[in-house]
Amino acid sequence: MNYQGILSDIYNESVKKQERGEVANYIPDLAQIDLNKFGMALVDEKGTLYTCGDAKEQFSVQSISKVLTLSLAFRLVGDDLLQRVGVEPSGDPFNHLSLLEQEQGKPRNPLINAGAIVVADILVSQLKNPKETFLEFIQNIANDPSITFDTKVAQSEKKTGFRNYAAAYLIKSFGNLENDVDTVLDFYFHQCALRMSCEQLVNTYYVFANRGKCLQNNPYLDLAQVKRINAIMLTCGFYDEAGEFAFEVGLPGKSGVGGGIVALLPDKFCVATWSPGLNPKGNSKLGMEALEKLTTKTRLSIF
Ligand code: GLN
C-alpha cells in the first residue's frame, strides 16, 4: 500500500480547504492555535511511519487521552470498572449533564467527560502519584520520555471548566466519586493537557492496532481489553457524532477539542490527524474529512 502517496494527496487536498471549522474557544489557551495547521501520521503493521504536514508539531490532545486513562484503569481494576461507568453511547455532547442526573451518577461511557472523571477518580484512588504514573505509562508505551503535560493549558482549563465541576459534583452527590472534586479534576485537567504530536500519537495508539503490544512488542493490555477498548472507541469516541464517524470513516477512534483524532484498523495501521478547527459537535472538521478520504482511497476499514 502506498501510504505515503495517499497521505500526500490528502494533505494537498486538505490545505486548500477554506471551511476549516472553529478552534475550541471555551479553553482560553486553545483559542490561540493557528487554524491553518494540518498534520497526519500513520504507522503500518510493520511499524513503518508515514507523515505529512505538521505531523511533528505537538498540540493539546484533550479527550484523546481518555482512552489511555481507561486503559490504565482497566489494567488496575479490571471489570470492576464497569460497576462505575457504562459502555453505551450517550448520543449527547461530551459535556452533557442531564443523563447523569437521570442515571444516578453512573456515566454512560468512559469517553464522555463525566465517564472520564470517574475513571480519573479510580486512578487517583489506586495510584500514589497518579499524574507521574500516568505519564510514565504513556512514555513507556510510546518509548518516548519527552511526552509531558502542558501545565499552562491545565491551569487555563481549571479556571473555566465549570461544566466539569458541575459533572463531578453531581457524580459525587450520587456517591460515585471517592476523592474530592478538586483532586480528581486536577488529574483530569492534566490528562487533557497532554501535549503530543501526530507522530507521538500513532507511536502510542499503535498498541490498540497491535492487540495490546507496543511498537517494541512489549505487552500493555490483554487481548480482551483491547477488543473492548476498541469497541468503546467505535461506539463512543465521537460523542453524538459516533454514528457519523462509523458511517463516513469506519474505524474505531477518538477525538479531542485540541483538533486531534486518532483512529486504527486492527492488525493494519494506526493513524492520527491534527487540524484545530472543530465542527459543531466538537470534532476536527478537516480531520474527519481526511480520515474519510484515507479509508476510501485505501479501501481499508473495519467494514
Ligand atoms: N478538556 C476538555 C473538556 O473537559 C476535553 C473535551 C474534549 O476534548 N472533547 O471539556
**Cβ neighbours, 10 Å, residue 79:** 10
Amino acid at 275: S
Helix axis angle, 198-209 to 223-236, nearest 10°: 120
Check whether 29 has a pLDDT greater than 90: no
Atom of ligand 1 nearest to the CA of 26: 10
Matching CATH topology for 3-62+195-298 and 65-192?
Answer: yes
Cα–ligand 1 centroid distance for 117 (angstroms): 11
Check whether 235 has a pLDDT greater than 90: yes
Domain boundaries, the chain: 3-62+195-298, 65-192
Check whether 213 has a pLDDT greater than 90: yes
Q: Residue 299 phi/psi, 5° resolution?
A: 55, 30
- Among 19-33, 49-63, 117-131, 197-211, name the one with the lowest average pLDDT: 19-33
Tell me whether residue 257 is one of the annotated catalytic residues.
yes
At residue 293 the predicted structure's pLDDT band, cuts being 50, 70 and 90, is very high
Give the helix ranges, DSSP H, for the chain: 3-15, 66-77, 98-102, 113-126, 130-142, 151-160, 162-173, 181-192, 198-209, 223-236, 242-248, 285-298
Tell me the mean pLDDT in the region 64-89.
96
User: What contacts 24+ positions apart, CB below 8 Å, involve 104-110?
Assistant: 104/174, 105/170, 105/171, 105/172, 105/173, 105/174, 105/175, 105/176, 106/174, 106/176, 107/171, 108/236, 109/85, 109/232, 109/235, 109/236, 110/66, 110/69, 110/70, 110/73, 110/81, 110/85, 110/232, 110/236
At residue 30 the predicted structure's pLDDT band, cuts being 50, 70 and 90, is confident
At residue 303 the predicted structure's pLDDT band, cuts being 50, 70 and 90, is very high
Q: Which of 22, 26, 27, 65 to mutate to test the pocket of ligand 1 (most atoms within 8 A of CB)?
A: 27
Cα–ligand 1 centroid distance for 260 (angstroms): 12
pLDDT number for residue 91: 87
Question: How many whole angstroms separate alpha carbon 279 and alpha carbon 301?
Answer: 23
Q: Residue 48 phi/psi, 5° resolution?
A: -80, 135
Check whether 172 has a pLDDT greater than 90: yes
Check whether 28 has a pLDDT greater than 90: no
Tell me whether residue 239 is one of the annotated catalytic residues.
yes
Tell me whether residue 16 is one of the annotated catalytic residues.
no
Cα–ligand 1 centroid distance for 24 (angstroms): 9
Tell me the mean pLDDT in the region 155-170.
95
Question: How many whole angstroms separate alpha carbon 93 and alpha carbon 241?
Answer: 9
**Cβ neighbours, 10 Å, residue 142:** 23
Any ligand 1 atom below 6 A from CB of 95 = yes
CATH number of 3-62+195-298: 3.40.710.10
CATH match of 65-192 with 3.40.710.10:
yes
